[in-house]
Amino acid sequence: QVQLVESGGGLVQPGGSLRLSCVASGFTFDEYAMWYRQAPGKERELVASISSSGDTITYADSVKGRFTISRDYSRHTVYLQMNSLKPEDTAVYYCKAWDNLNGYWGQGTQVTVSS
């Protein structure tokens, strides 16, 4: 059974940090992985991506210098470290992972940045 499970979301004050995790099972997690987010009333947007080798990493301009994407093959996991969080980062965050043929979505985890 193919499954992606995100965790690590929650409520945090502006300037705080969260670390999101996405654990894959049921497929070979050996290609591109991405983090997306979707805020109420807005379209889903790509936040960060990482290649199989880790050599190619991209970030949305709005999160550069604050967020870091990484992966751990031994744990079949991709991470998103989020620092200096702002209220505009509030959204549901989704992991998308690829094997050599297909892409798969996680269920999403809520991140709320508020005083």
Q: Concatenated DSSP letters for 2-58? A: -EEEEE--EEE-TT--EEEEEEEESS---S-EEEEEE-TTS--EEEEEE-SSS--EE
Q: Is 30 exposed, middle or buried (0-12, 13-18, 19+ CB in 10 A)?
A: middle
pLDDT under 50: residue ranges of the chain: none
Rounded distance between C-alpha atoms, residue 66 and residue 40, angstroms: 22
Residue length, the chain? 115
| pLDDT attached to residue 56 | 95
* pLDDT reported for residue 1: 84
* pLDDT tens, position by position, 5-24: 999 999 999 999 999 999 99
